[in-house]
């Protein structure tokens, strides 16, 4: 691919990187049904570009079902209740029913859900085209504009008084005011980018202006003191705003949130993550990645790449999640942290955001492999299959169960990110170059690349089955295109591909892309099969402690529902059930005696993706995909004897 001028025209506030290739200083780019005026910011070389969410539609699958449950939940939350604390803070009368949990009127983090809801509704609108999501979100934006105007505090807007920010600057205890401001600004920018709401952009610009004038006079020491309080992705959102506005104050605001204490060691390729709060740091790295894209500062690139690789290699569980009690721990100590308080869901939400940046820069299959791993084994399992409620932590303690939120009395950070997680499944299925399409995920979907006149439909029951079928619905004539099919690292049993029924010779190895280049015609059919097999995923510090996977899926031992009494597994407090007693009949040790995995774990006839142990414990144990675990106890890591 020839080097071209690349402008990051679309903010990836957690959702997509659409890196537009241009060859002139200024241009207009249509995204969906609206126009963004941009000015040239930087030049970097990208290997892959994301499709807009509007270009991809999910077909029926667990992913689409999760998305529909998510949509139903968001639509059911009263706008008046969401706005209640915002209006009170602005001095506007409100007698709406307050929300509970982290959105209650006495909670210092109140207001963060508003940003997630705006992002979630904007994403849902882009993912479906259904106007109801835009209408609900537009109403919220209009009300927020009124609050900002009535406050009349130089652009300040929040559900809490600005004294909270003053406390952070002084180093006094306060619960993360900049974190909440970031979430709201991100939601407003998403409303502009995905729905064309210009009022949302105006509100965000005023908020950024207030923040810049607030922080620009501070000394480096004052900034360092303030940055000890969690500030979320303020650098990312400010860079994103700069990409739209060209206002150098937005760029400067992003730089003011460069946290030297965390980022400088990473720039020197030093892993000093042990003991730091995990999800406080990941958004800072996303900000560095965004900064690299807009400034071409290689130090920021080093930070992003080193952090990602370090976390994946030394701090990540088999699920793709990380952290214990929300903190990074000593590297390569996985087996010592199989506890009740592992893998905060927000962490993986943010790791996937970072992964999308890195894949766009490199088109390296390792990023797509991780994305699949975390998506299937942490994000997909985070939603309860009937109510749509979601997890905060996903326990690895043998015999515990998932704790799910309540409908309107929790609103943890991971509730907020869940509104986005399940609305944007379509964002990373496909990427493209000038003349090719990457097929990264095997999810039933339809891609319409209008610019090239190329439309394909992916039909599959993956991962229940190993085959995915791609049908070309439209294709430009006489122009060769490449389909780059991800050959997963776990597919060690080989691959099979046919085009219109004729076998294709495959020379590539697992952990690469299989290129299919030809002049495609309407009606062409590609069948791809990656036979799945069982494998162990040992802890990085102890091979005798291991999880079990089948293809891309982590398998969980189903330990039943004994002792789970209502309201469990639903809770107001995310830690409510972590000290629940574990029944004595829960089994987490297997006496395998060096036998091969396939000798003691075999598929159950007639039940897809279901396996049973043989002669390794006091009784047979049934294992199913972790994403199918709902309200029962489970075991993910086993002690192997």
Q: Tens of pLDDT along 413-455? A: 999 999 999 999 999 999 999 999 999 999 999 999 999 999 9
519, 574: one domain: no
pLDDT tens, 120-162? Answer: 999 999 999 999 999 999 999 999 999 999 999 999 999 999 9
Mark which of 500, 531, 562 sits at the end of a domain: 531
pLDDT at 32 over 90: no
Which of 211, 215, 234 is CA-nearest to residue 156? 211
Radius of gyration, CA atoms only, the chain: 24
Peptide bond into 332 cis (omega under 30): no
454, 483: one domain: yes
CB 232 within 8 A of CB 183: yes
pLDDT at 392 over 70: yes
For tokens 């209006």, the residue is 87
b/e per residue 348-368 (b: at least 16 CB within 10 A): bbbbbbbbbbbbbbebebbbb
Longest CA–CA span in the chain (Å) reads: 72
b/e per residue 312-325 (b: at least 16 CB within 10 A): bebbbbbbbbbbbb
Q: Region 495-508: what's the mean pLDDT?
A: 97
Instruction: Answer yes or no: is 84 within a domain.
Output: no
553, 617: one domain: yes
pLDDT tens, 465-481? Answer: 999 999 999 998 889 99
pLDDT the model gives residue 465: 93
Q: How confident is the model at residue 27 (pLDDT cuts 50, 70, 90)?
A: very low
Enumerate residues 6+ apart whose C-beta is below 8 A from 67.
58, 124, 127, 422, 423, 425
513, 563: one domain: no
CB 421 within 8 A of CB 595: no
554, 619: one domain: yes
Q: What is the token pair recorded at 439?
A: 């097929």
pLDDT at 536 over 60: yes
pLDDT the model gives residue 44: 74
Residue positions counted in the chain: 641
pLDDT tens, 246-288? Answer: 999 999 999 999 999 999 999 999 999 999 999 999 999 999 9
564, 620: one domain: yes
Collapsed DSSP state (helix, strand, coil) of residue 513: strand
CB 413 within 8 A of CB 403: no
Instruction: Answer yes or no: is 495 within a domain.
Output: yes
pLDDT the model gives residue 30: 28
Residue 481 belongs to what domain range?
429-460+467-531
Mark which of 475, 501, 531 sits at the end of a domain: 531
Instruction: Answer yes or no: is 521 within a domain.
Output: yes
Instruction: Answer yes or no: is 376 within a domain.
Output: no
pLDDT the model gives residue 621: 98
Which of 631, 627, 634 is CA-nearest to residue 319? 627
CB 87 within 8 A of CB 93: yes
481, 553: one domain: no
CA atoms of 528 and 533, how far apart (whole Å): 16
CA atoms of 239 and 199, how far apart (whole Å): 19
Bridge partners (DSSP) listed for residue 322: 316
pLDDT at 2 over 80: no
527, 590: one domain: no
pLDDT at 18 over 90: no
pLDDT the model gives residue 24: 25
CB 633 within 8 A of CB 564: yes
pLDDT the model gives residue 42: 52
Enumerate residues 6+ apart whose C-beta is below 8 A from 577.
400, 401, 403, 568, 569, 571
Q: Region 528-537: what's the mean pLDDT?
A: 97
559, 507: one domain: no
pLDDT tens, 178-197? Answer: 999 999 999 999 999 999 99
Q: How confident is the model at residue 36 (pLDDT cuts 50, 70, 90)?
A: very low
513, 478: one domain: yes
Q: What is the token pair recorded at 327?
A: 């903190």
Collapsed DSSP state (helix, strand, coil) of residue 277: strand
597: DSSP letter: H
Average pLDDT along the chain: 93
Question: Domain of 447: which CATH number?
Answer: 2.60.40.1180
**Among 26-35, 367-376, 576-585, 609-618, which stretch is predicted with the lowest mean pLDDT?**
26-35
Number of domains, the chain: 2
pLDDT at 21 over 70: no
pLDDT at 237 over 80: yes
pLDDT at 371 over 70: yes
CB 38 within 8 A of CB 9: yes
Instruction: Answer yes or no: is 353 within a domain.
Output: no
Q: What is the token pair recorded at 454?
A: 């190329």
The DSSP code sequence of 458-508 is EEE-TTTSSEEEEEEEE--TT-EEEEEEEE-TT-TT--EEEETTEE-----
Three state DSSP letters for 356-423: HHHHHHHCCHHHHHHHHHHHHHHHHHHECCCCCCEECECCCCCCCCCCECCCCCCCCHHHHHHHHHCC
Instruction: Answer yes or no: is 6 within a domain.
Output: no
472, 559: one domain: no
Residue 221: Cβ within 10 Å count: 8
Q: What is the token pair recorded at 141?
A: 């934006």
Q: What is the token pair recorded at 142?
A: 């209009």
Mark which of 482, 500, 531 sits at the end of a domain: 531
Instruction: Answer yes or no: is 239 within a domain.
Output: no
Instruction: Answer yes or no: is 107 within a domain.
Output: no
Q: What is the token pair recorded at 325?
A: 């009690």
CA atoms of 148 and 8, how far apart (whole Å): 29
CA 341 to each of CA 111, 179, 185, 334, 393: distance values in angstroms, whole numbers, following the listed order? 25, 22, 30, 13, 6
580, 524: one domain: no
pLDDT at 304 over 90: yes
Q: Region 211-218: what's the mean pLDDT?
A: 98
């Amino acid at each position: 691919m020839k080097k071209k001028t690349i402008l990051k025209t679309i903010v990836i506030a957690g959702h997509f990187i659409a890196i537009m290739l241009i060859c002139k200083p200024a241009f207009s780019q249509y995204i969906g049904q609206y126009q963004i005026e941009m000015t040239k910011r930087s030049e970097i070389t990208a290997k892959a570009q994301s499709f807009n969410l509007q270009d991809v539609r999910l077909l029926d699958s667990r992913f689409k079902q999760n998305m529909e449950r998510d949509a139903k939940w968001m639509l059911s939350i009263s706008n008046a209740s969401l706005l209640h604390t915002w209006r009170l803070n602005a001095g506007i009368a409100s007698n709406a029913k307050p929300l509970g949990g982290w959105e209650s009127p006495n909670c210092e983090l109140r207001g963060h859900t508003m940003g997630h809801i705006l992002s979630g509704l904007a994403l849902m609108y882009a993912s479906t085209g259904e106007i109801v999501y835009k209408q609900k979100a537009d109403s919220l934006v209009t009300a927020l504009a009124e609050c900002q105007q009535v406050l009349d505090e130089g652009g300040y807007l929040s559900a809490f008084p600005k004294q909270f920010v003053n406390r952070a600057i002084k180093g006094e205890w306060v619960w993360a005011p900049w974190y909440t401001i970031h979430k709201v600004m991100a939601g407003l920018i998403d409303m502009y980018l995905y729905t064309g709401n210009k009022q949302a952009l105006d509100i965000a610009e005023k908020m950024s202006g207030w923040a810049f004038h607030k922080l620009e006079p501070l000394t480096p020491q004052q900034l360092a003191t303030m940055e000890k309080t969690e500030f979320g992705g303020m650098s990312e959102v400010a860079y994103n705003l700069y990409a739209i506005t060209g206002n150098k104050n937005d760029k400067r605001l992003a730089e003011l949130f460069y946290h030297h204490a965390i980022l400088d060691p990473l720039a020197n390729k030093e892993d000093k993550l042990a003991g730091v709060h995990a999800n406080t740091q990941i958004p800072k790295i996303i900000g560095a990645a965004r900064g690299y894209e807009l400034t071409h500062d290689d130090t920021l690139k080093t930070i992003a790449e080193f952090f990602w690789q370090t976390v994946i290699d030394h701090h990540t569980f088999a699920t793709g999640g990380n952290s214990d009690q929300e903190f990074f721990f000593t590297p390569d100590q996985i087996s010592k942290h199989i506890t009740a308080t592992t893998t905060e869901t927000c962490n993986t939400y943010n790791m996937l955001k970072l992964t999308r940046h890195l894949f766009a820069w490199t088109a390296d299959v390792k990023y797509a492999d991780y994305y699949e791993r975390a998506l299937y084994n942490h994000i997909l399992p985070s939603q309860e299959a009937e109510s749509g409620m979601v997890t905060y932590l996903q326990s690895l303690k043998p015999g515990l169960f998932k704790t799910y939120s309540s409908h309107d009395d929790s609103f943890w950070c991971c509730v907020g990110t869940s509104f986005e997680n399940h609305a944007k499944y379509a964002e990373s299925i496909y990427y493209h170059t000038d003349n090719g399409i990457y097929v990264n995920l095997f999810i039933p979907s339809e891609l319409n690349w209008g610019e090239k006149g190329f439309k394909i439909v992916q039909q599959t029951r993956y991962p229940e089955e190993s085959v995915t079928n791609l049908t070309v619905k439209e294709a430009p004539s006489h122009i060769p295109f490449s389909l780059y099919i991800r050959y997963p690292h776990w597919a060690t049993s080989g691959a099979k591909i046919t085009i219109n029924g004729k076998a294709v010779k495959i020379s590539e190895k697992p952990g690469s892309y299989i290129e299919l280049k030809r002049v495609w015609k309407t009606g062409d059919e590609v069948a791809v099969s990656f036979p799945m097999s069982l494998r162990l995923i040992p802890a990085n510090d102890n091979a005798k402690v291991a999880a079990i996977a089948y293809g891309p899926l982590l398998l969980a031992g189903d330990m039943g529902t004994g002792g789970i009494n209502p309201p469990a597994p639903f809770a107001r407090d995310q830690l409510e059930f972590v000290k629940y007693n574990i029944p004595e009949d829960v089994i987490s040790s297997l006496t395998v005696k060096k036998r091969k995995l396939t000798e003691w774990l075999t598929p159950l006839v007639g039940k897809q993706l279901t396996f049973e142990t043989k002669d390794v414990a006091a009784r047979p144990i049934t294992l199913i995909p972790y994403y199918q675990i709902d309200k029962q106890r489970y075991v993910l890591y086993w002690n192997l004897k």
